[in-house]
């Protein structure tokens, strides 16, 4: 067996290299910049500049892309407009997420624990807090996650799929565990996320092994050829394909692979929840699109069982269970489960339209999610002596928010309406194009269920709006909640709100761009 | 001017934003800005109308391109307006009645600290309603549809300091969402079968589509219409919606928004042309609701709820007409316009009565108000005569035509539909007369602290104008078939059909029934004493007082299964899987008691869920695939 060095096309990899390179630099900064305050500023600066540079490079590549795209690393990666669109999306989510990471309360308190390595409530922790220590490692960790996700969107080989999956998952597990308050909850969420994530990675790897056994290759194109050449359908191929898809469905958070979402969403520091909810879902959707369209296209009929079943279960369970949540972050977690179901609706029948509809759907969903969690970071509990505490995430605490802070409440209402898919918000256009794609493939019964589910889902979104605007602050609770305006979180809210409105009212340019992204370099094999 | 019709939407919308954004600074003059915005929209509409009247009948449909909304591939969709006689009719109704109600509200809401916000919402409503009727695609119509729903929701809950009012707003929202599903589904079906959701594409493709496809679209559109127009089985929210301030009830829940369903059906005429079954269902729903509403109206003692029941019933007439096809479309819209005038007038009258009676709504505590509130009495009286269908008042010209049209057809249908319309006229006469006599005639049954007085001019002038419309508008529009000719380019030419009964017979029968209804009401509520509390009543009356137990039905049909589903899923999500795992764990390690209670057990159960899910999926896919 001889080994030949693959020819690497460096230029198409530039956005990923910039992000991962910046992550490496950020690690060095951790070692060399000692003052916590300066370090935080430098880290934020480096991260944001790197991400903007990556976005710029990706856009330049988009503009100068010759033909449909480039194959990189001997078929391991494909850089085409589809992957570039997703990369830009993930970088945008990453940038907004980073701004939230750096946001602090008026009292100068950030969302992360001062020292991640010590036990909650220990003397060391108190000491670290008093000394003003900061875990600025969150910035390089998030950069690694973003880099991994960017790779994840362009992978066309199962081995590399697994590598990219781990590159972005491992930093996320750590990030989830770093909450400043309620650290036990945070640890619990992280541990669950990690254990279940490891479990799902194993399933994915197992599936890859099956597929390698059946087709003799881990490359998407060769698997597709293998699938086509097998007479009839092979149980090994099917089981392998199902396991790979299930591994990705875990990351998307679809039922019954959703169990980690409520705990991880609730336990994680809210900026991490925001970033994770938006970016992970986008990256996993992108990877699922590619593997399904390039490797499993021939298995459309067989996989339809999986898509339909999981989609219906997600929409139903997500919507119904969200109805009874009294904790805001858990409610949004279940809402994200329902959205996973809506995303899968577009997969039904593997329509071409899904390739351009889903980037838009995820853009609308991610922006609204980032915005909503950014609002959550600003609504704080207040102790009787006036000190501002952690986030007020019980639904009841949001009563009368419209009177306390009309603008913040209005922004939240906008994001919720977008989740609900009310016209003139991005969410509506997103649902419209996603469902239209499914209908074009004849999956109207699924769309019917999706429409009913989204109408029912509107109820719990609107319940929160009613709570904010039409309910008075309960008596005696007037001083229990405080709006803590942090400038950075505010910037995120404003950007997200503007984007949600723009994408809802004039989605044209973006839709047209994603229309171009709907062409895969290798085409749908099958 | 026709190209500037977008201003109709932009002006009130801008005003709404200004009022909301400026905050308290705008309090001193905010309401007048609201009035001005609505008035400007009316002037623009009037100029456009005049220009349109100058055109030939077949040139009157005018498309206004706004911008490319959702471009690309198969989904190409522009946002544009369609200005034609049908939409112009609505524009005039909405802006004219809307402006009057704005003026009325200046006085009615005078003591409310949030009057500016109230006007912002009213302006928002006007903008959304105009968008609804002017849209050139179902999708844009849907935007307006949700917009009026939002405005209605905000205005019903405007006095949300009372919890039951907020509940009413919620109920309206939930029921309307059910209707909205219908519209979304209809759009999905149109997109699949007819290749688009804009009117031009849909109507061009409709004749080629199969009957089954068109029926499906027609029925889903009907579901949407029943939600918005409070028709059976989605009628229950309208009564509760009366919790909103009375001008809101007059504008939204009588004259304009609730008639959007009728507009939707008439606008979708080309679809219903190919779907006779769906058309029959529309007519049947209309006929059923008109009787149902009338029965509920007979038993209500709350003046606004009685009027709400009457609205439901009158919209039933319009639905019935819309379900009759081209022969009925024009009459449906005709009745919609006259009803917009007389019902809005009566609601404003009811508001005036409440204004003078310390917000009392129980008609059993009214009586003999004709001397105390002369203007209100006269204007309300004109509305009353109009809704009864007494010639020559407005309602006569529109309602009588619907009854005649309902008698056209073959087999049992004309007898059933016509019979319902005829009986409905008698019932209407009874309950409206009951309302009128209980309020303005008989003996005074006021509570001690009530000192009825006439309302200020800002309130009475709009009432007078609407009363003039209630009296003469019908005659004016009916003369020489003015209105039907005006709508003909949209609704199509209707062949003349003879009813199964001769027209004079129908007319005389109607008038006799009306006279009978009014006479019975006079005997019971005008001449005789009315008890101050509702007497014990028969089962039928109790049923009617309780809105025919619609809430109980809703609870049984929607709420209970929903609750059970929720509980089951929550249970399955948390307890069931845990339980199964716990039991296994129990048998394996009794000593793990304390460990099981920690979260470790849950992670195991989560992993088990995933594994079981994976195994099921693999079995299904592999078995299904092989």
Instruction: Give per-residue pLDDT as tens, B463-479.
Output: 888 888 888 888 888 88
Specify whether the CB–CB gap between A267 and A190 falls below 8 A: yes
Name which of B555, B549, B546, B536 is nearest B302 in CA terms: B546
Specify whether the CB–CB gap between A157 and A218 falls below 8 A: yes
Specify whether the CB–CB gap between A336 and A278 falls below 8 A: no
Q: How far is CA A319 from the centre of its chain?
A: 19
Instruction: Summarize the confidence of residues B204-231 as an average pLDDT.
Output: 88
**pTM score, whole prediction:** 0.80
pLDDT band at B593 (very low <50, low <70, confident <90, very high): very low
pLDDT band at B585 (very low <50, low <70, confident <90, very high): very low
Give A391 to chain B, closest Cα distance, Å.
23
Chain A residues 449-468 with CB within 8 Å of chain B: 451-452, 455-456, 458-459, 462, 466
pLDDT of residue B586: 45
Which residues does chain A have with pLDDT short of 70? 1, 6, 230-233, 521-526
pLDDT of residue A521: 65
Q: What residues of A are in contact with residue B569 (Cβ under 8 Å)?
A: 316-317, 320-321
Highest mean pLDDT among B70-79, B490-499, B511-520: B511-520
Q: How many residues does chain A have?
A: 526
Residue by residue, DSSP assigns A103-140 as -B-TTS-BSB-S-TTS-TT-HHHHHHHHTT---TTHHH
Contact B70 A507 (CB under 8 A): yes
Give the closest of B70, B139, B192 to A508, CB-based: B70
pLDDT of residue A84: 92
Residue in A closest to B195 by C-alpha: A440
- Mean pLDDT computed over every residue of chain B: 81
Instruction: Summarize the confidence of residues B2-15 as an average pLDDT.
Output: 85
Contact A196 B180 (CB under 8 A): no
Instruction: Summarize the confidence of residues B227-250 as an average pLDDT.
Output: 82
CB burial string B395-419: b at 16+ within 10 A, e below: bbbbbbbbbbbbbbbeeebbeebbb
Specify whether the CB–CB gap between A110 and A134 falls below 8 A: yes
CB of A425 within 8 Å of a chain B CB? The answer is no
Specify whether the CB–CB gap between B96 and B42 falls below 8 A: yes
Contact B610 A257 (CB under 8 A): yes
Give the closest of B157, B178, B566 to A323, CB-based: B566
CB of A24 within 8 Å of a chain B CB? The answer is no
Specify whether the CB–CB gap between A62 and A84 falls below 8 A: yes
Residue in A closest to B191 by C-alpha: A436
pLDDT of residue B587: 41
Instruction: Summarize the confidence of residues B41-59 as an average pLDDT.
Output: 85
E strand or H helix at B280: helix B276-299
Q: Considering only A243-252, A448-457, B357-366, B543-552, which range has the smallest mean pLDDT?
A: B543-552
Q: Which has more pLDDT, B594 or B37?
A: B37
The structure tokens 């496809």 sit at B213
Q: Which of A192, A357, A436 to mutate to test the interface with B (most CBs of B within 10 A)?
A: A436
CB of A439 within 8 Å of a chain B CB? The answer is yes
Contact A321 B618 (CB under 8 A): no
Distances (CA, A) of B595 to A183, A363, B578, B602: 20, 42, 14, 11
Residue in B closest to A360 by C-alpha: B70
Residue in A closest to B71 by C-alpha: A508
In degrees and rounded to multiples of 5, residue B344 shows phi and psi of -60, -40
Residue A78's SS3 state is strand
Q: Which has more pLDDT, A524 or B285?
A: B285
pLDDT band at B594 (very low <50, low <70, confident <90, very high): very low
Give B189 to chain A, closest Cα distance, Å.
8
Contact A305 B617 (CB under 8 A): yes
Q: Give this complex's ipTM.
A: 0.80
Residue by residue, DSSP assigns B175-205 as HHHHHHHHHHHHHHHHHHHHS-SBHHHHHHH
Distances (CA, A) of A519 to A63, A294, A509: 15, 12, 17
Give B357 to chain A, closest Cα distance, Å.
28
Q: Which of B142, B573, B620 to mutate to test the interface with A (most CBs of A within 10 A)?
A: B573
Measured over the CA atoms of residue A496, residue A502, residue A505 and residue A510, the dihedral's sign is negative
CB burial string B121-135: b at 16+ within 10 A, e below: bbbbbbbbbbbbbbb
Task: Answer yes or no: is pLDDT of B591 > 90.
Answer: no
In degrees and rounded to multiples of 5, residue B29 shows phi and psi of -125, 0
Q: Beta-carbon neighbour count of residue A406 at 10 Å?
A: 14
Measured over the CA atoms of residue A163, residue A164, residue A170 and residue A171, the dihedral's sign is positive
The structure tokens 């092989």 sit at B626
A117 contact partners, CB below 8 Å, separation of at least 6:
none
Give B609 to chain A, closest Cα distance, Å.
6
Contact B620 A310 (CB under 8 A): no
Domain boundaries, chain A: 11-517
A5 contact partners, CB below 8 Å, separation of at least 6:
none
Distances (CA, A) of A258 to A88, B613, B618: 26, 11, 18
Contact A447 B606 (CB under 8 A): no
- Region of residue B97 (phi > 0: left; psi between -120 and 50: alpha; otherwise: beta): alpha
Q: What residues of B are in contact with residue A309 (Cβ under 8 Å)?
A: 617, 620
B57-111 pLDDT tens trace: 777 777 777 777 776 555 667 788 888 888 889 999 999 999 988 998 888 888 8
pLDDT of residue B598: 37
* Burial zone of B451 (CB within 10 Å; 0-12 exposed, 13-18 middle, 19+ buried): exposed
Name which of B145, B291, B128, B147 is nearest B224 in CA terms: B145
Contact B169 A306 (CB under 8 A): no
CB of A198 within 8 Å of a chain B CB? The answer is no
Residue in A closest to B598 by C-alpha: A188
In degrees and rounded to multiples of 5, residue A233 shows phi and psi of -125, 135
Residue B459's SS3 state is helix
Distance CA(A277)–CA(A94), nearest Å, equals 11
Distance CA(B49)–CA(B389), nearest Å, equals 28
Q: Considering only A222-231, A421-430, B114-123, B558-567, which range has the smallest mean pLDDT?
A: B558-567
Q: How many CB pairs under 8 A join A and B?
A: 158
CB of A184 within 8 Å of a chain B CB? The answer is no
Measured over the CA atoms of residue A163, residue A164, residue A167 and residue A173, the dihedral's sign is negative
Name which of A113, A111, A110 is nearest A126 in CA terms: A113
Name which of A360, A370, A361 is nearest A338 in CA terms: A361
Distance CA(B299)–CA(B158), nearest Å, equals 27
pLDDT of residue B588: 38
Residue ranges in B572-598 assigned as alpha helix (H): 577-588, 593-597
Give B570 to chain A, closest Cα distance, Å.
6
Number of H helices, E strands in chain A: 20, 5
Strands A77-80 and A379-382: unpaired
Contact B625 A238 (CB under 8 A): yes
pLDDT band at B555 (very low <50, low <70, confident <90, very high): low
pLDDT of residue A432: 87
Give B190 to chain A, closest Cα distance, Å.
11
* Burial zone of B63 (CB within 10 Å; 0-12 exposed, 13-18 middle, 19+ buried): middle
pLDDT band at B597 (very low <50, low <70, confident <90, very high): very low
Give B378 to chain A, closest Cα distance, Å.
38
In degrees and rounded to multiples of 5, residue B59 shows phi and psi of -100, 5
Residue in A closest to B599 by C-alpha: A188
Distance CA(B564)–CA(B567), nearest Å, equals 5
B145-180 pLDDT tens trace: 888 888 888 787 777 666 666 667 777 777 787 888
Per-residue DSSP letter, A219: B
pLDDT of residue B500: 80
Instruction: Summarize the confidence of residues B39-66 as an average pLDDT.
Output: 84
Distance CA(A393)–CA(A60), nearest Å, equals 41
């Amino acid at each position: 067996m001889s080994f030949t060095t693959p020819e690497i096309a460096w230029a198409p990899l530039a956005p990923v290299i910039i992000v991962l390179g910046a992550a490496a630099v950020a690690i060095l900064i951790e070692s060399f910049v000692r003052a916590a305050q300066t370090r935080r500023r430098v880290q934020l600066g480096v991260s944001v500049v790197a991400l903007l540079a990556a976005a710029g490079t990706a856009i330049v590549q988009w503009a100068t892309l010759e033909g449909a795209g480039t194959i990189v690393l001997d078929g391991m990666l494909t850089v085409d407009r589809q992957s570039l669109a997703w990369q830009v999306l993930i970088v945008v989510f990453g940038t907004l997420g980073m701004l939230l990471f750096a946001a602090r309360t008026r009292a100068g308190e950030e969302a992360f624990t001062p020292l991640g390595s010590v036990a909650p409530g220990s003397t060391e922790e108190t000491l670290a807090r008093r000394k003003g220590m900061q875990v600025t490692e969150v910035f390089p960790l998030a950069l690694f996650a973003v880099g991994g996700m960017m790779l994840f969107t362009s992978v066309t080989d199962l081995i590399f799929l697994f590598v990219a999956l781990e590159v972005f998952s491992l930093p996320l597990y750590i990030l989830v565990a770093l909450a400043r308050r309620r650290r036990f909850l945070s640890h619990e969420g992280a541990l669950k996320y990690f254990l279940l994530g490891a479990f799902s990675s194993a399933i994915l790897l197992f599936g890859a092994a099956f597929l390698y056994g059946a087709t003799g290759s881990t490359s998407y194109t060769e698997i597709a050829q293998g699938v086509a050449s097998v007479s009839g359908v092979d149980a090994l191929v099917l089981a392998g394909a199902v396991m790979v898809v299930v591994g990705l469905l875990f990351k998307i958070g679809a039922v019954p692979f959703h169990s980690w979402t409520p705990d991880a969403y609730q336990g994680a520091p809210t900026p991490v929840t925001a970033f994770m909810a938006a970016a992970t879902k986008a990256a996993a959707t992108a990877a699922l699109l590619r593997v399904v369209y390039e490797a499993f296209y021939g298995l459309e009929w067989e996989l339809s069982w999986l898509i339909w079943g999981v989609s219906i279960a997600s929409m139903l369970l997500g919507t119904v269970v969200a109805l009874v949540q009294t904790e805001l972050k858990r409610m949004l977690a279940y809402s994200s489960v329902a959205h996973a179901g809506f995303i899968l609706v577009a997969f039904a029948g593997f329509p071409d339209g899904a390739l351009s509809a889903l980037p838009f759907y995820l853009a609308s969903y991610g922006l609204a999610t980032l915005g909503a969690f950014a609002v959550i970071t600003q609504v704080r509990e207040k102790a009787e002596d006036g000190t501002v505490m952690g986030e007020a995430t019980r639904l009841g605490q949001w009563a009368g928010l419209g009177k306390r802070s009309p603008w913040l409440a209005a922004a939240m209402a906008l994001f919720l309406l977008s989740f609900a898919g009310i016209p003139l918000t991005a969410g509506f256009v997103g649902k419209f194009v996603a469902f239209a794609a499914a209908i074009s493939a004849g999956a109207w019964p699924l769309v019917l269920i999706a429409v009913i589910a989204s109408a029912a889902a509107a109820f719990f979104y609107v319940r929160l709006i009613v709570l904010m605007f039409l309910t008075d602050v309960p008596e005696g609770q007037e001083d229990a909640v405080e709006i803590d305006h942090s400038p950075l979180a505010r910037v995120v809210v404003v950007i997200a709100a503007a984007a949600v409105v723009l994408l809802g009212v004039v989605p044209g340019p973006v839709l047209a761009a994603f229309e171009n992204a709907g062409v895969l370099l290798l085409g749908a094999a099958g | 001017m026709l190209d500037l019709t977008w201003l109709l939407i932009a002006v009130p919308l801008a005003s709404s934003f200004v009022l909301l954004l400026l905050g308290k600074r705008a309090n001193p003059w905010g309401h007048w800005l609201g009035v001005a915005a609505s008035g400007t929209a009316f002037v623009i509409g009037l100029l456009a109308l005049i220009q349109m009247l100058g055109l030939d009948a077949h040139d009157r449909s005018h498309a206004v391109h706004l911008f490319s909304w959702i471009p690309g591939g198969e989904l190409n969709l522009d946002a544009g307006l369609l200005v034609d006689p049908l939409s112009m009719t609505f524009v005039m109704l909405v802006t004219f009645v809307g402006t009057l109600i704005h003026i009325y509200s200046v006085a009615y809401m005078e003591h409310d600290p949030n009057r500016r916000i109230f006007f912002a919402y009213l302006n928002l409503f006007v903008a959304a309603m105009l968008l609804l009727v002017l849209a050139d695609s179902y999708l844009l119509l849907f935007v307006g549809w949700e917009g009026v729903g939002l405005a209605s929701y905000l205005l019903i809950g405007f006095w949300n300091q009372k919890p039951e009012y907020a509940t009413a707003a919620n109920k309206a929202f939930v029921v309307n969402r059910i209707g909205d599903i219908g519209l979304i589904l209809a759009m999905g079906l149109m997109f699949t079968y007819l290749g688009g959701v804009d009117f031009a594409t849909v109507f061009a493709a409709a004749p080629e589509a199969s009957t089954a496809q068109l029926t499906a679209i027609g029925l889903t559109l009907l579901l949407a219409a029943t939600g918005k127009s409070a028709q059976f089985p989605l009628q229950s929210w309208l009564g509760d919606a009366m919790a909103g301030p009375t001008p809101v009830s007059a504008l939204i829940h009588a004259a304009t928004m609730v008639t959007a369903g009728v507009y939707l059906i008439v606008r979708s005429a080309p679809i219903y042309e190919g779907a006779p079954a769906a058309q029959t269902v529309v007519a049947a729903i209309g006929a059923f609701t008109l009787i149902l509403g009338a029965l509920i109206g007979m038993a209500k003692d709350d003046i606004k709820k009685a009027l709400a029941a009457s609205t439901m019933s009158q919209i039933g007439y319009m639905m019935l007409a819309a379900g009759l096809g081209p022969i009925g479309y024009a009459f449906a819209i005709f009745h919609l316009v006259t009803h917009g005038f007389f019902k809005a007038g009566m609601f404003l009258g009811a508001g005036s009565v409440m204004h003078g009676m310390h917000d009392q709504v129980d008609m059993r505590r009214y009586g003999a108000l004709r001397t105390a509130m002369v203007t209100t009495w006269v204007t309300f009286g004109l509305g009353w005569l109009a809704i009864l269908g007494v010639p020559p008042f407005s309602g006569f010209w529109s309602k009588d035509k619907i009854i005649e049209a309902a008698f056209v057809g073959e087999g049992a249908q004309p007898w059933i539909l016509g019979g319902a319309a005829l009986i409905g006229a008698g019932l209407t006469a009874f309950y409206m007369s009951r309302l009128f006599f209980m309020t303005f005639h008989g003996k005074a049954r006021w509570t001690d602290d009530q000192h009825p007085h006439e309302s200020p001019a800002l309130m009475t002038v709009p009432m007078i104008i609407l009363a003039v419309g209630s009296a003469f508008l019908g005659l004016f529009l009916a003369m020489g078939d003015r209105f039907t000719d005006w709508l003909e380019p949209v609704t199509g030419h209707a062949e003349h059909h003879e009813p199964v009964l001769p027209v004079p017979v129908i007319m005389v029968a109607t008038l006799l029934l009306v006279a009978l209804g009014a006479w019975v009401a006079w005997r019971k509520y005008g001449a005789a004493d009315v008890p101050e509390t509702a007497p014990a009543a028969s089962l039928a009356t109790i049923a009617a007082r309780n809105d025919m137990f619609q809430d109980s039905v809703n609870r049984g049909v929607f709420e209970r299964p929903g609750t059970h589903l929720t509980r089951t899923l929550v249970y399955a999500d948390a307890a069931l899987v845990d339980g199964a795992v716990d039991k296994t764990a129990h048998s394996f390690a009794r000593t793990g008691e304390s460990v099981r209670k920690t979260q470790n057990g849950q992670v195991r159960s989560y992993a088990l869920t995933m594994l079981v899910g994976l195994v099921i999926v693999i079995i299904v896919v592999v078995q299904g695939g092989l």
